[in-house]
């Protein structure tokens, strides 16, 4: 099939490359001429494992190309995907749909023959209705069906998620779109990936509801972690104990400094705003947003407390800047709030991240950056692990302790066993593990 992908950002580029790998003819269109030039030159503007090889292979095969021109590819297309950004709108938190609507208006005059226009961008309920209205306003004679096909890609595992999805959700209002979309995803039938056809508005809401539920799950275990610290329990064992219940499941029950990234923060906020506008506020999601925002800053205070209550004039090393491993995405990363709290407390922060430092530099003007974990830790009174990169899971703890001026290690992802860290001469602080003085008081009280 001939497919156009409007937008060559994270979702558009991954989706376009995967669809080309299925055998479709795909043109990724982007207004950013510099980005298109880099893509044509074989340079991938984002970090995603395996994406460079996937793009190279399909460009060489002639199935994937890049362009700044929209009209000609749309004229020839069977399907046009809209995969542009929908960031949170400044001031009110609603999703900014200006790029989606601009794409619809621009493509409309070029539509020829029956074409399915698909919103892959994450959009609020009713967006597809407006996209259809814009298309018909700009081209009343167009034979077009508008569908919703939300993405469920995890950064760092996006190619696997696209090719072996848990489900494919497609919302339609015109039955002519169904066989077209079935053909787009026909290669996945071999993997027995279920395709769920729904109404368009239902499809749009599924995406927001899924992300909000996962965000609530993360926030829930983070609050349980705080309780564990105070009552002498271990959050990792609590998470395992409840995660073995099939009704709950173990995923997204890893306590940490809070969620970030390109989806959960903006999508939960957009769902809250949509529900408010509909007169049916979602209090659970409202609380999730508030607790998560508060938690990130609280992690900075946790580090300061571990350092004896003050970091003024002292060096603190931070390992991990991106919101999760295997990406260079700094959007709403917990590290930003943690570092800001440390710098507000007077600390000099030195950070290292395997992939995220280029994106982090303009966001953290007061932060130093190192070339390795050990360089970051040199002369630091404390070492803080914020992102659980594999490269940080087997550090030479003795070497780290040898180059540091202090002995504090704060593990905000619980990737180390406390006994291993203390054996190397560190004072260990994790997430959701007992605060010893409180545990002792409880023990005495029990006696």
- Give the confidence band of 90 by pLDDT, cuts at 50, 70, 90: confident
Q: Cβ distance 232 to 442 under 8 Å?
A: yes
Q: Cβ distance 356 to 321 under 8 Å?
A: yes
Residue 18 a catalytic site member: no
Q: For the chain, first and last CA: distance in Å?
A: 73
Q: What is the pLDDT of residue 386?
A: 98
CATH of domain 2-197: 3.40.50.720
The residue extents of the domains of the chain are: 2-197, 212-429
- Give the confidence band of 436 by pLDDT, cuts at 50, 70, 90: low
Q: How far apart, in Å, are the Cα atoms of 45 and each of 9, 87, 358, 380, 442?
A: 8, 19, 12, 33, 53
- pTM (two decimals): 0.90
Report residue 113 as tokens: 């023959």
d(CA 142, CA 110): 9
Q: What is the pLDDT of residue 332?
A: 95
| Phi, psi (rounded to 5 degrees) for 280 | -130, 70
Is 212-429 a domain of CATH 3.40.50.10790? no
Q: Which residues pair with 408 in a beta bridge?
A: 382, 427
Give me the DSSP letters along 339-374.
Answer: HHHHHHTT-EEEEE-TTTHHHHGGG-TT-EE-SSHH
**Digit-coded pLDDT (tens) for 383-424:** 999 999 999 999 999 999 999 999 999 999 999 999 999 999
d(CA 315, CA 381): 6
Q: Which residues pair with 444 in a beta bridge?
A: none
**Digit-coded pLDDT (tens) for 305-349:** 999 999 999 999 999 999 999 999 999 999 999 999 999 999 999
Q: Do domains 2-197 and 212-429 have the same CATH topology?
A: yes
Identified catalytic residue from 28, 263, 307, 350: 263
For 437, the enclosing helix (H) or strand (E) is helix 436-446
Smallest CA-to-CA distance from 222 within 255, 173, 175, 194 is with: 255
Helix, strand, coil: what percent of the chain each, to 5? 45, 15, 40
**Sequence-separated (6 or more) residues with CB below 8 Å from residue 276:** none
Burial of 407 (0-12, 13-18, 19+ CB in 10 A): middle
Mean pLDDT, the chain, rounded, equals: 94
**Digit-coded pLDDT (tens) for 348-385:** 999 999 999 999 999 999 999 999 999 999 999 999 99
């Amino acid at each position: 099939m001939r497919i156009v992908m409007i937008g060559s950002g994270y979702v558009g580029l991954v989706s376009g490359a995967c669809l080309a790998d299925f055998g479709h003819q795909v043109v990724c269109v982007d207004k950013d001429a510099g980005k298109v030039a880099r893509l044509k030159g074989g340079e991938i503007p984002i970090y995603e494992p395996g994406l460079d090889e996937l793009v190279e292979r399909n460009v060489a095969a002639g199935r994937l190309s890049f362009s700044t021109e929209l009209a000609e590819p749309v004229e020839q297309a069977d399907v046009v995907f809209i995969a542009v950004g929908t960031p949170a709108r400044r001031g009110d938190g609603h999703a900014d749909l200006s790029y989606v609507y601009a794409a619809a208006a621009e493509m409309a005059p070029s539509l020829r023959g029956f074409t399915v226009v698909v919103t892959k961008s994450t959009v609020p309920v009713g967006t597809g209705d407006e996209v259809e209205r814009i298309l018909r306003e700009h081209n009343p004679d167009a034979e077009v069906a508008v569908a919703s096909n939300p993405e469920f890609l995890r950064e760092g595992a996006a190619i696997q998620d696209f090719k072996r999805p848990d489900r494919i959700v497609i919302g339609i209002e015109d039955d002519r779109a169904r066989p077209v979309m079935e053909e787009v995803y026909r290669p996945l039938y071999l993997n027995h990936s279920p395709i769920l056809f729904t109404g368009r508005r239902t499809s749009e809401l599924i995406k927001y509801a899924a992300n909000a539920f996962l965000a609530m799950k993360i926030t829930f275990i983070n609050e349980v972690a705080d309780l564990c610290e105070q009552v002498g329990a271990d959050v990792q064992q609590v998470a395992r104990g409840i995660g073995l219940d099939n009704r709950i499941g173990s995923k997204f029950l890893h306590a940490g400094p809070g969620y970030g990234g390109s989806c959960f923060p903006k999508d939960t906020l957009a769902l809250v705003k949509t529900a408010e506008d509909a007169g049916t506020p979602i209090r659970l999601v409202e609380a999730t947003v508030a607790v998560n925002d508060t938690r990130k800053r609280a992690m900075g205070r946790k580090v300061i407390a571990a350092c004896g209550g003050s970091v003024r004039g002292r060096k603190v090393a931070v390992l991990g800047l991106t919101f999760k491993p295997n990406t260079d995405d700094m959007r709403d990363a917990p590290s930003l709030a943690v570092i800001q709290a440390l710098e507000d407390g007077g600390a000099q922060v030195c950070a290292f991240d395997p992939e995220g430092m280029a994106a982090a530099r303009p966001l953290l003007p007061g932060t130093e950056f190192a070339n390795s974990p050990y360089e970051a830790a040199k002369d630091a009174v404390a070492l803080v692990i914020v992102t659980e990169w594999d490269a940080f899971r087997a550090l030479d703890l003795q070497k780290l302790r040898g180059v540091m001026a202090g002995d504090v290690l704060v593990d905000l992802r619980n990737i180390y066993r406390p006994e291993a860290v203390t054996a190397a001469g560190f004072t260990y602080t994790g997430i959701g593990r007992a605060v010893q003085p409180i545990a002792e008081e409880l023990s005495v009280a029990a006696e």
